[in-house]
Structure 1
Amino acid sequence: MSKKIKDENGNVYVKKKPFYKRIWFWILAIIVIFAIGGAIGGGSGSDTSSTSESKSNSNDKTISQNAEFRKKFDAIVVGDLMSHGDGGTTLSDVEKSLGKPSTTSTQDVQGVQVKDYIWDKGGVSISVQFNDDKTVSKDITGFKFSRTPKFDLDAYNNLADGSSYDDVVSKYGEPDGLNEMIISGEKNVTATWITGTKGGTIALTFINDSLTSKTQSGLK
């Protein structure tokens, strides 16, 4: 809410409430914590299989399962948090697609109830947040795409502010991790790519399909 202030000369100014004091900011913070906390439990693989043939069969099966898991994640529609998720996929429809969740939790923030449901499969974790049983945020971690060309340090350095999400994906492939939410009509996407032999990472943030920030770790 804005506040009117009058100075000694009788001039009136409107002072807007800082974003970090607004209710939606703290709701967003709680949802992000939910998503990150729920995704930490993803497993990692081991290279100690007895034969290369059994390893290959197991990997093919895991890739197939994870690809289907990813398609189901991509099909989930996120609604606007400030409109109680209107337009978002319902909890019942998400459960029809993904089955019963591995973990559930509920948090009440400033009178707004947010449910966090987590599904795990083959080292991949999907976390979906609901308000009024409609999706307000979704997050996936642990998915590993094989991508060409390589998303290396040169490519990262050449990413310009304002680049679109679709343009980045068309050049470097789908991200391994993704968080999406909508707040007051503003779409926020944070995408992470695992790239390189040393496990380098690139994290990009897009607001309304426009690149606003980027970070990298371990790229060469």
Structure 2
Amino acid sequence: MRNGKTPKPKKPIYKRIWFWIVVVILVVIIGSALGGGGKDKNKDSSSKSTAASKSSSNSNASSSSSEKPKSGWTQEIYDSIVSATANFNNDGTMAYSGGTPYADIEAKVGKPTTTSESSIGNQTLVTVNWTSVSWTKGSTESVTVQYDKASGQITSKSKFNA
């Protein structure tokens, strides 16, 4: 108590404008990371593989394969995926055999949410992901499949439910 005055109590943090600005920014960042930001981030880097996927799926399935069926991913479809066996050719290149064709899976569940490619030497692997966020159920489901671009055979799969 200086000069006979009592000090003003500080405003609580939730009554300050800068606090609410930070909260809004965080909500927007989290929302875009979970929901809508995925397509735009990978759009440029995946344009080649998306075009290749379209042409391969159109030759193996009807034109309605670009539309996602109502059933989408089921445990049966996920369990039916067989990862290909990797074999080395005499020239040192890798070949895959015995795997589920990627085009078959895309025909069953529709186009993926994101697509990306990575190349090592003359081998190109394509990683595709289907993500579904349900705000009403409070859950996120994601299925990731990797396939060899040359053979079209799936080399690995993974699933995430939260």
* Greater helix proportion: 2
Flag the structure with higher strand content.
1
Normalising by structure 1, we get a TM-score of: 0.35
For normalisation by structure 2, the TM-score amounts to 0.46
Bigger radius of gyration among the two: 2
* Bigger RCO of structures 1 and 2 (CA < 8 A, at least 6 apart): 2
